[in-house]
């Protein structure tokens, strides 16, 4: 039998717990021998893992790198991040038939290591405004992200992103329209659980990241009062867990709120299945938040939950089209609580049944077909 194609997957993330990259790997691994570059242990689907040092920053956060950014010398800054330098060192001498770059910051490394092989850019967000709510990022890093997209996206053999509205932004600014590959979870063989007992069980899973206004959920439970509970499965953010601790302190007087340790992505649907309503109200504090279509929405569907969200267009569209739950009028705790207060137990059960009916259509099987099409073009 002929040798399998060799594909390099670059992601400046802990790939073993990065749900989107793991799903991407599950498709690539069916077609090729896979080498991964990222933080943490070897992820599922990887034949060979080149582990980046945990403390190696993926942005030019060295004195030289910051000086280059301040001087607007973006070309010189492209590969100065410690993680980029480590990636080039670890992968030196390798040869691949295709390279996958996860997010814009991986593009220079991916193109350097590709050495002429086709590059697939999987853009998890709208890169130029990834953290635009942070002043230092907006002033120093955003222009670098714009430079990377402008320089490298036209050279990519394929591009994908998470939502149609984000694809529109890339097309408008850079003349490259990515295919949409949503953050849908694999199909889970589950059924809706009954809305049992006297309490409607709300649940949320994800990162405890400042800006997402997760305190809104606590305020909602406080306003709803008896008959409602909230369980949280939160991963500490990059702030050393400070925001998570602040949420725990804020919830100290709310006995209906319970914090749990996070669970692995593949275990989420079964873990969430015993709850009733998955909740997420994220204000549009930047371009990505305004267009978010996150993993957790699809995790809620696979868990066969009703869904409650704010008027975020991408999420609201999915919830409305499939009759999955309720959309609040705005992002305030008052509006979120009002959207839930109108729910009867029968309506919650109906929404859970709708999630069950839509579970295959809203699973990764649809998105895997996009990835397979990309690989058909790249690998021939």
* Residues 303 and 332 both lie in one domain: yes
Whether residue 14 is predicted with pLDDT greater than 50 in this model: the reply is yes
* Residues 133 and 173 both lie in one domain: yes
List residues bridging with 203 in a β-sheet: 231, 278
* Structure confidence at residue 1 as a pLDDT band (50, 70, 90): very low
HSE at residue 261, side-chain half, CA atoms within 13 A, is 3
Is residue 189 one of the residues assigned to a domain? no
* Residues 239 and 337 both lie in one domain: yes
Is residue 373 one of the residues assigned to a domain? yes
Place of tokens 């040798």: 3
Q: What is the arithmetic mean of pLDDT over 161-173?
A: 97
List residues bridging with 259 in a β-sheet: 232
* Residues 35 and 112 both lie in one domain: yes
Is residue 193 one of the residues assigned to a domain? no
Q: What is the CATH number of the domain that holds 350?
A: 3.40.50.2000
pLDDT at 379: 94
pLDDT at 240: 85
* Residues 301 and 369 both lie in one domain: no
Is residue 175 one of the residues assigned to a domain? yes
Strand 200-208 relative to strand 277-280, pairing = parallel
pLDDT at 310: 96
Joined together, the tokens standing for residue 189 give 């063989």
* Residues 174 and 28 both lie in one domain: yes
* Residues 271 and 298 both lie in one domain: yes
Long-range Cβ contacts of 22-30 (<8 Å, 24+ apart): 22/265, 23/185, 23/186, 23/364, 23/367, 23/368, 24/100, 24/102, 24/122, 24/371, 26/186, 26/368, 27/368, 27/371, 27/372, 27/375, 28/100, 28/371, 28/375
Q: Is 317 exposed, middle or buried (0-12, 13-18, 19+ CB in 10 A)?
A: middle
* Structure confidence at residue 197 as a pLDDT band (50, 70, 90): confident
Is residue 136 one of the residues assigned to a domain? yes
- Other Cβ atoms within 10 Å of 63 Cβ, number: 8
pLDDT tens-digit readout, 266-322: 899 999 999 999 999 999 988 999 999 999 999 999 999 999 999 999 999 999 999
Give how far Cα 266 sits from Cα of 16, 19, 23, 67, 188, Å. Answer: 11, 8, 10, 42, 9
pLDDT at 2: 54
Joined together, the tokens standing for residue 221 give 């439970």
Q: Which phi-psi region, left, alpha or beta, contains residue 241 (left: φ > 0; alpha: ψ -120 to 50)? A: left
Q: How far is CA 254 from the centre of its chain?
A: 29
Is residue 158 one of the residues assigned to a domain? yes
* Structure confidence at residue 377 as a pLDDT band (50, 70, 90): very high
Q: Is 129 exposed, middle or buried (0-12, 13-18, 19+ CB in 10 A)?
A: buried
Q: What is the arithmetic mean of pLDDT over 148-168?
A: 97
Q: How many domains does the chain have?
A: 2
Joined together, the tokens standing for residue 351 give 């929404």
Q: What's the whole-number average pLDDT of the chain?
A: 95
Place of tokens 């850079």: 174
* Structure confidence at residue 105 as a pLDDT band (50, 70, 90): very high
* Structure confidence at residue 265 as a pLDDT band (50, 70, 90): confident
pLDDT at 98: 98
pLDDT tens-digit readout, 216-237: 999 999 999 899 999 999 999 8
* Residues 238 and 289 both lie in one domain: yes
* Structure confidence at residue 363 as a pLDDT band (50, 70, 90): very high
Q: Domain range for residue 314?
A: 200-358
* Residues 354 and 368 both lie in one domain: no
Element (H, E) at 21: helix 19-31
Whether residue 259 is predicted with pLDDT greater than 50 in this model: the reply is yes
* Residues 343 and 374 both lie in one domain: no
pLDDT at 238: 76
Is residue 1 one of the residues assigned to a domain? no
pLDDT at 266: 85
* Residues 250 and 179 both lie in one domain: no
* Residues 250 and 217 both lie in one domain: yes
Is residue 191 one of the residues assigned to a domain? no
Whether residue 200 is predicted with pLDDT greater than 60 in this model: the reply is yes
């Amino acid at each position: 039998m002929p040798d399998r194609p060799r594909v390099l997957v670059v992601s400046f993330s802990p790939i073993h717990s990065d749900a989107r990259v793991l799903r991407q790997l599950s498709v690539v691994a069916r077609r090729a021998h896979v080498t991964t570059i990222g933080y943490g242990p070897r992820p599922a689907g990887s034949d060979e893992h080149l582990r980046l040092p945990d403390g190696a920053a993926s942005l030019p956060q060295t004195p030289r790198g910051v000086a280059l950014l301040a001087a607007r010398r973006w070309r010189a800054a492209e590969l100065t991040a410690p993680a980029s330098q480590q990636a080039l060192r670890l992968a030196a001498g390798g040869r691949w038939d295709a390279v996958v770059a996860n997010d814009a910051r991986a593009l220079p490394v991916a193109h350097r290591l590709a050495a002429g092989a086709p590059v697939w850019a999987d853009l998890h967000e709208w890169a130029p405004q990834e953290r635009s709510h942070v002043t230092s990022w907006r002033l120093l890093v955003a222009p670098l992200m714009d430079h990377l997209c402008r320089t490298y996206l036209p050279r990519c053999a394929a591009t994908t992103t998470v939502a149609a509205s984000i694809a529109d932004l890339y097309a408008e600014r850079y003349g490259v329209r990515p295919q949409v590959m949503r953050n849908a979870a694999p199909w889970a063989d589950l059924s809706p659980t009954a809305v049992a007992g006297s309490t409607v069980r709300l649940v949320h899973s994800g990162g405890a990241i400042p800006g997402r206004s997760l305190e809104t959920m606590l305020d909602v439970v406080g306003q709803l009062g008896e008959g409602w509970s909230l369980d949280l499965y939160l991963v500490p953010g990059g702030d050393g867990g400070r925001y998570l601790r602040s949420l725990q302190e804020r919830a100290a007087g709310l006995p209906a709120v319970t914090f749990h340790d996070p669970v692995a992505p593949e275990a989420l649907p079964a873990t969430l299945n015993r709850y009733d309503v998955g909740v997420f109200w994220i204000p549009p504090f930047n371009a990505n938040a305004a267009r978010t279509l996150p993993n957790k929405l699809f995790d809620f569907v696979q868990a066969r939950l009703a869904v409650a969200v704010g008027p975020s267009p991408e999420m609201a569209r999915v919830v409305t089209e499939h009759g999955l739950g309720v959309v609040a009028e705005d992002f305030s705790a008052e509006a979120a609580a009002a959207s839930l207060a109108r729910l009867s137990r029968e309506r919650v059960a109906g929404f859970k049944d709708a999630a069950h009916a839509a579970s295959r259509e809203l699973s990764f099987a649809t998105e895997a077909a996009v990835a397979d099409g990309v690989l058909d073009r790249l690998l021939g």
